[in-house]
Amino acid sequence: MAGSKYTYVRNFELPDPLLPGTFMVFRLDGHSFHRFSDEHGFTKPNDIRALELMDHAAKDVMEQYSDIVLAFGESDEFSFLLRKSATLYNRRQSKIVSTLTSLFTSSYVFRWATYFPDCPLKYPPSFDGRIILYPSAREIRDYFSWRQTDTHINNLYNTTFWALVQQGGESTTQAHATLKGTVSKEKHEILFSRFQVNYNALDARVRKGSTLVREEIPEQSIPNDNGETPTRPDEPLESVAPSSIRMRKRTKPRTKVVVLHCDIIKDDFWDSRLEILSD
């Protein structure tokens, strides 16, 4: 394409490739969600509608980008793991960060009314995004352990804090003071002895955060082109299907994104999903 005398300004745009062969973690976080959650009346300590909306936006992102193999979310943040071999947008950093952040944000807004039917958005929310590169599976395991430990620490604090305020009649300033310097065991004790709350019996969603993975859909349950589930799943496809259908026989199994609320610090989660940390 012919250039103009102005075209040279393009040369100021520098390439920003991410190192090949490394794991990418993309994390986004709500901008000023302390305020956003106040203005939109989030229930404290955990507004379940808001958490489900975050999960849904993350699912939308994962469904559009097959290089994402895992996602973990808590509060106003989500982390996404992209496989080592990902070549998405030629691994251009700002292209990936801006596109994923923007898709998540627009999905959050797009689906807002489904989760908050009685509370119109008062202003457009935004998220920041970043990518961190990690050389090996060890750091990836530790990264996700770090985030889930953070979920636990924050949730224990917030649960105790809001019990002191909502049931204990303390002001927020008093509740902060009550909790100052307390260790985890003491918070469990306050919850149990003063408010009869067994922390470990709370919803796993708030204690463990949300983990999104791809799970294989069993062949039998995939509907055919007429929307019907095949009635004879054991029949070899070749013997019944016309050649036009045989041509489209999938080589990769179909998957769907599922939301779990489970431990991702121990080995079990990873041992049963070796594909997450493979190339």
Under the binding rule (CB under 6 A), the answer on residue 159 touching ligand ATP is no
75 is in an annotated binding site: yes
Q: Which 58-87 residues touch ligand ATP, going by CB under 6 A?
A: 75-76
Indicate which single residue of 42, 57, 77, 147 sits in contact with Mg ion (rule: CB under 5 A): 77
Supply the minimum distance, in Å, between the C-beta of residue 267 and Mg ion. 28
Return the residue matching tokens 């019944």: 240
Any idea what DSSP says for residue 167? Answer: T
76 is in an annotated binding site: yes
Under the binding rule (CB under 6 A), the answer on residue 261 touching ligand ATP is no
Cα→Cα distances 246→88, 229, 252, Å: 30, 17, 14
32 is in an annotated binding site: yes
Residues in CB range of 143: below 8 A, 6 or more apart: 25, 79, 132, 134
| Minimum CB distance to Mg ion smaller for 95 or for 246 | 95
Of 76, 43, 54, the C-alpha closest to 154 is 76
| Minimum CB distance to ligand ATP smaller for 30 or for 129 | 30
Indicate which single residue of 18, 25, 28, 51 sits in contact with ligand ATP (rule: CB under 6 A): 51
Q: Which stretch binds Mg ion (CB under 5 A): 53-61, 70-78, 93-101, 215-223?
A: 70-78
Cα 163 from chain centre: 27
Do residues 244 and 189 touch, judged by C-beta distance below 8 A? Answer: no
29 is in an annotated binding site: yes
Cβ count within 10 A of residue 59: 19
Q: Which stretch binds ligand ATP (CB under 6 A): 39-47, 101-109, 187-195, 221-229?
A: 39-47
Strand order in the sheet with 127-134: 127-134, 23-30, 77-82, 68-74, 210-216, 255-260
First to last CA, the chain: 38
Residues found in the chain:
279
Cα→Cα distances 233→223, 236, 238, 250, 254, Å: 11, 8, 12, 15, 15
34 is in an annotated binding site: yes
Indicate which single residue of 7, 16, 21, 31 sits in contact with ligand ATP (rule: CB under 6 A): 31
Cα→Cα distances 169→127, 187, 224, 271, Å: 34, 17, 59, 46
Q: Which stretch binds Mg ion (CB under 5 A): 41-49, 72-80, 109-117, 206-214?
A: 72-80
Under the binding rule (CB under 5 A), the answer on residue 42 touching Mg ion is no
Q: Which stretch binds ligand ATP (CB under 6 A): 40-48, 78-86, 110-118, 248-256?
A: 40-48
Residue set of the binding site for Mg(2+)? 29-30, 76
Q: By the criterion CB under 6 A, which residues form the site for ligand ATP?
A: 29-34, 37, 42, 44, 46-47, 50-51, 75-76
Residue set of the binding site? 29-34, 75-76
Q: By the criterion CB under 5 A, which residues form the site for Mg ion?
A: 29-30, 33, 75-77
Residue set of the binding site for GTP? 29-34, 75-76
